[in-house]
Chains A and B, each alone.
Chain A
Amino acid sequence: MTNRTDFPPPNANQQAFPPPAAGNQVNAQNIQDALEKAVAPKVINTSNNKNDGLNKCPRCGSTEISTQPGTGMLVCHHCRYVFEVAVAVFKDPKELIGEAIGTGAGDITIDETQVTIKCQGCGAEVVVNIEGSMTSRCHWCRQVLSLENQMPNGAVPDVLLPFLLSRETAKQHIEAFAKKRTFYANSHFKREFTTENIIGVYLPYMVVDANVHCDIRGKAGDVVRKYTVGSGDNKKTYYDIDLYDIGRDFDLAIDNLTVEASTDKLNVNNKMNTNNIINSILPFDLENAVHYNGNYLKGFNSERRDTNINDLRGLVDAQVRDVARFKANSTATKYDGGIKWESQDMDTKGSQWLSAYLPVWLYSYMQVKGNGQKLLHYIAVNARTGETMGSVPVSIGRLLFVSSLIEVGLLFLVIIFFLFLVF
């Protein structure tokens, strides 16, 4: 963080903020260029010019390729060659001007769930149901065919993060999480809990980089004195506070802001679902994301993106503002009496949108309540960082009983305490 302190206050005679430094000056032409770029977003081609069909081992040409457990690399099951796809490198957020969109993040214009792939091995046409799988085996020559072409149905993203945590490790994480929450767990859950049916799933996300300018102003309090006045029942604590007018003006380069790109997972409602659990295992190490390669999906489920960039702009805007405000907070830590931010002007100089598949190990349990209402509980493991979070159904009766016992015990202690005071 660089810090300039020649920032003048916004009084009547002075300009609120000084002109930008020489290197940052903008002129009318630059603004016009930026506007034009904003109107017509740049397209980042992440398709790798690959076609659907055979995705071969670079050493022997076999299509028997999948993710190697525990390493996140690809392994050929024919010649045992282990290899990885190059990490996807994109522009530094600081250098973004205008809007850029990955070819895999374009608007969804068709709703096809079945794709026909022509096998380059034997010429047969194979139908792949992309709702559950992005690969299929040719029924004639047994070669594996994968969907690589970024068609506008949200099925093929720009980048993905391979599964790093093996199934066994994920099982251990989930078991450890549930084991710590056994005593008050719903009895049906305890009976039926098993990690044998956990699934590895690539969930769809939109990853946004942004180059923004923020001008934020408000009032801040510095507590300079705390004192007590009166005695006995009239004793009261007061504070003396120095009130300041504060402002912060800065550039902010935001890297890999991640939001869910599935309507289902964006619907966070604690009474109806436990989608907040899946949200809570963010963030991922997106600096290690690789260009999409269908071989990574073998053995895992994947969920198709069903939202467009325009659907997510409001959410991303709110999150970018939050990040900027908390950055401003970090420059005003001396104000222990709080800050009341009164204005926040944001100017987005550039942004980049990429769609991504991110790996999650999921345990799910459907709880059917007494009134017939259903609630789907998740225990989710971030398959990159191992961060684990979950929702375990509670036996309300048992918890209420123990809480009541505690309350009665405490009441008894209070009565004894008062009796001791009286006598």
Chain B
Amino acid sequence: MEALFAQLLDSVDLTQVLAVFASSDEDGVGAVLLLLLGGPAFFMFTYMRYRNTDKRHRHEIETPAEMNNLQQYNNFIKHLTRQSSSTITGANDNVVSGSLLSNGGASKSFKAINDITKNFK
């Protein structure tokens, strides 16, 4: 039974589910739906607090690194209006590829990472 729940928890990102419900309406129905998710949300929160299956070393920010000789450009391209999302399509600035856990907590194989990356010389 726990294996089944673990599989479900690996495949569901609670923050995304909550965001969908919270933004579904602004006159109270979304809030009520959010309230109805209280039981599953409590289950997931508690399970993760005990099992910590999403915890990992955050190498991308915890590794000491010194940047030097920075050069940069920032060129305005165009003004986009009436966008339904506050984030541009394909934004990937928070994606981490070198972790054995994916961003949502699911496992990635060490071989899978080695297969898709170049050899570091």
Contact = CB atoms under 8 A, between A and B. Distances in A.
A93 B68 CA distance: 12
Interface in B71-112: 71-94, 96-101, 105-110
A251 B68 CA distance: 5
Contact of B53 (A267, A270, A318, A319): A270
Nearest to A38: B121
Contacts of B3: 271, 369, 371, 373
Contacts, number: 331
Nearest to B106: A270
Contact of B36 (A2, A236, A240, A411): A411
A392 B36 contact: no
B79 A414 contact: no
Contacts of A210: 120
Contacts of A181: 49-50
A256 interface: yes
A85 interface: no
Interface residues of B, number: 85
A315 B97 contact: no
A402 to B, nearest CB: 7
A394 B108 CA distance: 23
Contact of B52 (A235, A277, A341): A277
Contacts of A24: 69
A70 interface: no
B120 A242 contact: no
Interface of B: 1-3, 5-7, 10, 26-27, 32, 35-36, 38-40, 42-43, 46-47, 49-57, 59-94, 96-101, 105-110, 113-121
20 contacts: A4-B71, A226-B86, A235-B27, A244-B75, A252-B68, A268-B108, A270-B106, A276-B55, A279-B57, A279-B100, A313-B119, A314-B115, A319-B60, A322-B59, A322-B96, A325-B93, A336-B86, A389-B52, A391-B53, A403-B42
